[in-house]
Amino acid sequence: MNRWITVALATMAVGAPVWATHAVGTTPPDFNCVDTDGNATTLYEQRGKVVLINFGATW
């Protein structure tokens, strides 16, 4: 069982770049969202800043 888990994790780690849709350094698509204060913002407005987008769930 442990060997199967190791093989599965190694396969996912090696295959992860294949699933990436945007390469580092390319322009990302614009993204519209509402912040925690209720203000609408876009990814373009954050140009030049470090942005962390956290998709969380409370299920």
CB 43 within 8 A of CB 30: yes
Q: Where are the alpha helices (DSSP H) in the chain?
A: 2-19
Task: Tell me how far apart the alpha carbons of residues 52 and 49 are, in angstroms, rounded to a whole number.
Answer: 10
Instruction: Determine, yes or no, domain membership for 1.
Output: no
> pLDDT category, 20, cuts 50, 70, 90?
low
Structural domains in the chain (count) = 1
The reply to whether 28 falls in a domain is yes
Model confidence at 16, pLDDT cuts 50, 70, 90, reads low
For residue 11, being part of any structural domain is answered with no
If pLDDT is split at 50, 70 and 90, which confidence band does 9 have?
A: confident
Task: Dig out the tokens for 28 from the structure.
Answer: 């990302």
Q: How confident is the model at residue 4 (pLDDT cuts 50, 70, 90)?
A: confident
Task: Show the domain range for 29.
Answer: 23-59
Note the pTM of the prediction, 2 decimals: 0.40
CB distance 30 to 44 below 8 Å: yes
pLDDT at 18 over 70: no
